[in-house]
Amino acid sequence: MEIFELLARENVPVLIFSAGLYDVIHAVLNKEYAKTIAKMPPKNVHVISNMMRFDETTRLWALMERLNKNASALVETDFWKQCQLEKRHNILLLGDSLGDSNMANGLDFKEDEIVRIGFLNDGIEQKLDMYLQRFDVVLTNDSSLLPVELLLHQIQL
């Protein structure tokens, strides 16, 4: 959570895109923030993921799929306006699949304004070359986030 604390302190927007369930991700964030930082995740964190919808008897009746796993899904949202994302000049993109390297698609950023860090945890020998083509840095074997944290401390937020 140290990275989240640093980004919250500096008011840097954090966008979490996931093929997982929004409700689960939100619950984990709430639990972790309650332990270390605050009662709720700060307003600089936004999650785009699959959402469960329940009826009045709490029976799951729909799963709202978020197929748009890129930042263009945020344009014109309250989060976009609140964080003034159009005034930002850089993106630090973290992902663990080849498709994640495209998450900044749809935004008006030049390639040299985006640093892509990939996490490759299985099939390393088979996939490494592909990851190196899509990501600027590739961390392997369930690497820690320490390199990301060090990078954040080195740049001017």
Written as tens digits, the pLDDT of the chain (157 aa) is 588 888 888 888 888 888 788 888 888 888 877 666 566 667 788 888 877 777 777 776 655 555 456 666 667 777 777 777 667 788 899 999 998 898 888 777 888 889 999 999 999 999 999 999 999 999 999 989 999 999 988 886 5
**1-86 sits in which CATH class?**
alpha beta
| DSSP 8-state code for residue 110 | -
Rounded CA separation 38/131 (Å)? 36
Q: How far apart, in whole angstroms, are the C-alpha atoms of residue 34 and residue 57?
A: 29
For 7-22, the pLDDT digits (tens) are 888 888 888 888 788 8
| Superfamily for domain range 89-157 | HAD superfamily/HAD-like (3.40.50.1000)
Q: How far apart, in whole angstroms, are the C-alpha atoms of residue 92 and residue 103?
A: 11
The model's pLDDT over 102-119, given as tens digits with 9 standing for 90+, comes to 888 877 788 888 999 999
CB-based contacts of 50: which residues, under 8 Å, 6+ apart? 18, 19, 20, 21, 22, 63, 64, 65, 66
> Do the domains spanning 1-86 and 89-157 agree at the CATH topology level?
yes
Let me know how many helices (H) and strands (E) the chain has, helices first. Answer: 5, 6
Within the chain, residue ranges assigned H as helices are: 2-9, 22-36, 78-82, 124-134, 146-154
Q: Which residues touch 107 (CB under 8 Å, ≥6 apart)?
A: 71, 72, 75, 91
Q: What are the extents of the domains in the chain? A: 1-86, 89-157
> Which residue's structure tokens are 């495209």?
102
